[in-house]
Amino acid sequence: MTHQHPIQRVTMITLGVADLARSRAFYHALGWHPHSETESVSFFQLQGAALGLYALAKLADDMDRSVSELGTGAMTVGQNFADEEAVDAAFNIAMQAGATAIKRPQAVFWGGYSGYFADPDGHVWELAVNPYWPLAADGSLTLPDAD
Protein backbone atom coordinates (compact mmCIF):
# COMPACT_ATOMS: atom_id res chain seq x y z
CA MET A 1 0.00 0.00 0.00
CA THR A 2 1.06 3.56 -0.53
CA HIS A 3 1.51 6.00 2.30
CA GLN A 4 -1.13 8.39 1.14
CA HIS A 5 -2.81 9.83 4.19
CA PRO A 6 -5.21 9.96 5.61
CA ILE A 7 -7.77 7.77 3.98
CA GLN A 8 -11.32 8.57 5.01
CA ARG A 9 -12.24 5.30 6.54
CA VAL A 10 -13.23 3.60 9.74
CA THR A 11 -12.37 -0.07 9.74
CA MET A 12 -12.82 -0.76 13.42
CA ILE A 13 -15.34 0.37 16.00
CA THR A 14 -14.55 -0.63 19.55
CA LEU A 15 -17.07 -0.46 22.36
CA GLY A 16 -15.58 -0.62 25.83
CA VAL A 17 -17.88 -2.77 27.97
CA ALA A 18 -18.05 -3.26 31.72
CA ASP A 19 -19.26 -6.86 31.63
CA LEU A 20 -18.26 -8.75 28.53
CA ALA A 21 -20.60 -11.69 29.20
CA ARG A 22 -23.53 -9.30 29.56
CA SER A 23 -22.63 -7.49 26.36
CA ARG A 24 -22.14 -10.71 24.44
CA ALA A 25 -25.58 -11.82 25.55
CA PHE A 26 -27.05 -8.51 24.47
CA TYR A 27 -25.58 -8.52 20.96
CA HIS A 28 -26.42 -12.19 20.60
CA ALA A 29 -30.03 -11.31 21.48
CA LEU A 30 -29.91 -8.66 18.76
CA GLY A 31 -29.19 -11.49 16.36
CA TRP A 32 -25.51 -10.72 15.86
CA HIS A 33 -23.01 -13.52 15.41
CA PRO A 34 -19.46 -13.04 16.59
CA HIS A 35 -16.67 -13.79 14.19
CA SER A 36 -14.33 -14.74 17.03
CA GLU A 37 -14.03 -14.34 20.75
CA THR A 38 -11.31 -14.37 23.35
CA GLU A 39 -11.27 -13.88 27.09
CA SER A 40 -11.39 -10.10 26.72
CA VAL A 41 -12.90 -9.32 23.32
CA SER A 42 -15.59 -10.29 20.83
CA PHE A 43 -15.25 -9.34 17.17
CA PHE A 44 -18.11 -8.93 14.71
CA GLN A 45 -17.76 -8.67 10.94
CA LEU A 46 -19.32 -5.55 9.48
CA GLN A 47 -19.33 -4.57 5.83
CA GLY A 48 -15.65 -3.94 5.15
CA ALA A 49 -14.98 -3.28 8.81
CA ALA A 50 -15.25 -4.85 12.24
CA LEU A 51 -16.82 -4.04 15.56
CA GLY A 52 -15.25 -5.16 18.80
CA LEU A 53 -16.63 -5.49 22.30
CA TYR A 54 -13.63 -4.98 24.53
CA ALA A 55 -13.49 -5.35 28.29
CA LEU A 56 -13.19 -1.83 29.70
CA ALA A 57 -10.11 -2.57 31.77
CA LYS A 58 -8.34 -4.03 28.75
CA LEU A 59 -9.32 -1.11 26.56
CA ALA A 60 -7.99 1.27 29.22
CA ASP A 61 -4.75 -0.75 29.40
CA ASP A 62 -4.45 -0.61 25.64
CA MET A 63 -4.69 3.19 25.77
CA ASP A 64 -2.47 3.62 28.85
CA ARG A 65 -5.45 5.19 30.55
CA SER A 66 -7.52 4.36 33.60
CA VAL A 67 -11.10 3.22 33.12
CA SER A 68 -12.31 6.44 34.75
CA GLU A 69 -10.47 8.46 32.12
CA LEU A 70 -12.20 6.77 29.23
CA GLY A 71 -15.37 8.85 29.15
CA THR A 72 -16.46 9.24 25.57
CA GLY A 73 -13.34 7.30 24.72
CA ALA A 74 -15.06 4.14 25.92
CA MET A 75 -15.98 3.96 22.26
CA THR A 76 -13.25 4.35 19.69
CA VAL A 77 -13.17 4.66 15.94
CA GLY A 78 -10.24 3.04 14.27
CA GLN A 79 -8.25 3.02 11.07
CA ASN A 80 -6.17 0.01 10.21
CA PHE A 81 -3.06 0.38 8.09
CA ALA A 82 -0.77 -1.95 6.24
CA ASP A 83 2.45 -1.10 8.06
CA GLU A 84 3.94 0.76 11.02
CA GLU A 85 5.29 3.60 8.91
CA ALA A 86 1.78 4.32 7.69
CA VAL A 87 0.51 4.43 11.28
CA ASP A 88 3.33 6.77 12.30
CA ALA A 89 2.67 9.06 9.34
CA ALA A 90 -1.05 9.23 10.06
CA PHE A 91 -0.37 9.84 13.75
CA ASN A 92 1.97 12.71 12.90
CA ILE A 93 -0.62 14.25 10.63
CA ALA A 94 -3.09 14.08 13.52
CA MET A 95 -0.60 15.79 15.84
CA GLN A 96 -0.06 18.53 13.28
CA ALA A 97 -3.83 18.89 13.04
CA GLY A 98 -4.00 19.61 16.75
CA ALA A 99 -4.99 16.20 18.09
CA THR A 100 -4.21 15.25 21.68
CA ALA A 101 -1.81 12.33 21.87
CA ILE A 102 -3.12 9.56 24.10
CA LYS A 103 -0.56 6.92 23.26
CA ARG A 104 2.15 7.30 20.66
CA PRO A 105 2.20 4.41 18.18
CA GLN A 106 4.04 1.45 19.64
CA ALA A 107 4.07 -2.32 19.73
CA VAL A 108 1.19 -3.61 21.82
CA PHE A 109 0.57 -6.73 23.85
CA TRP A 110 -1.85 -8.30 21.36
CA GLY A 111 0.83 -8.43 18.68
CA GLY A 112 0.05 -5.32 16.72
CA TYR A 113 1.25 -1.75 16.58
CA SER A 114 -1.06 1.08 17.49
CA GLY A 115 -1.49 4.59 18.74
CA TYR A 116 -4.42 6.59 20.03
CA PHE A 117 -5.26 10.25 19.71
CA ALA A 118 -8.23 12.37 20.72
CA ASP A 119 -9.97 14.87 18.50
CA PRO A 120 -10.98 18.29 19.87
CA ASP A 121 -13.97 16.80 21.73
CA GLY A 122 -12.12 13.83 23.18
CA HIS A 123 -13.38 11.31 20.63
CA VAL A 124 -10.74 8.63 20.51
CA TRP A 125 -9.24 7.39 17.26
CA GLU A 126 -7.02 4.35 17.06
CA LEU A 127 -4.47 3.94 14.28
CA ALA A 128 -3.26 0.38 14.05
CA VAL A 129 -1.48 -2.35 12.19
CA ASN A 130 -2.94 -5.71 12.94
CA PRO A 131 -0.70 -8.37 11.39
CA TYR A 132 -3.46 -10.94 11.74
CA TRP A 133 -5.95 -8.88 9.74
CA PRO A 134 -4.69 -8.09 6.24
CA LEU A 135 -6.51 -5.26 4.51
CA ALA A 136 -8.04 -5.38 1.05
CA ALA A 137 -6.60 -3.23 -1.69
CA ASP A 138 -9.31 -0.65 -1.07
CA GLY A 139 -8.33 -0.43 2.60
CA SER A 140 -11.41 -2.27 3.80
CA LEU A 141 -11.22 -4.94 6.45
CA THR A 142 -12.63 -8.41 6.23
CA LEU A 143 -11.94 -10.50 9.28
CA PRO A 144 -9.95 -13.57 8.23
CA ASP A 145 -11.23 -17.07 8.69
CA ALA A 146 -10.35 -18.47 12.07
CA ASP A 147 -7.54 -21.00 11.95
Per-residue DSSP letter, 136:
P
Q: Return the range that interacts with a copy of itself (CB under 8 A); candidates 19-27, 60-68, 108-116, 126-134.
A: 19-27
Q: Return the range that interacts with a copy of itself (CB under 8 A); candidates 49-57, 61-69, 105-113, 126-134.
A: 49-57
Taking CB under 8 A as the criterion, which residues in 82-111 touch a copy of itself? 93-94, 96-99
What residue type is assigned to position 39 of the chain? E
Helices (H) and strands (E) in the chain, counts: 4, 8
The nearer residue to a copy of itself, 18 or 107, going by C-beta atoms, is: 18
Among 51, 82, 108, 143, binds a copy of itself (CB under 8 A): 51
At closest approach, how far in Å is the CB of 94 from a copy of itself? 6
Q: Return the range that interacts with a copy of itself (CB under 8 A); candidates 61-69, 71-79, 80-88, 107-115.
A: 71-79
Long-range contacts of 131-140 (CB under 8 A, 24+ apart): 133/50, 133/80, 135/1, 135/11, 135/80, 135/81, 135/82, 136/48, 137/1, 138/48, 139/1, 139/7, 139/9, 139/11, 139/80, 140/9, 140/11, 140/48, 140/49
Q: How far apart are the first and last CA of the chain?
A: 25
Please tell me whether residue 15 binds a copy of itself under the rule CB under 8 A: yes
| Contacts with a copy of itself, residue ranges (CB under 8 A) | 5-6, 8-10, 13, 15-19, 22-23, 25-27, 29-33, 44-49, 51, 56, 71-72, 74-75, 77, 93-94, 96-99, 119-121, 123, 138-140
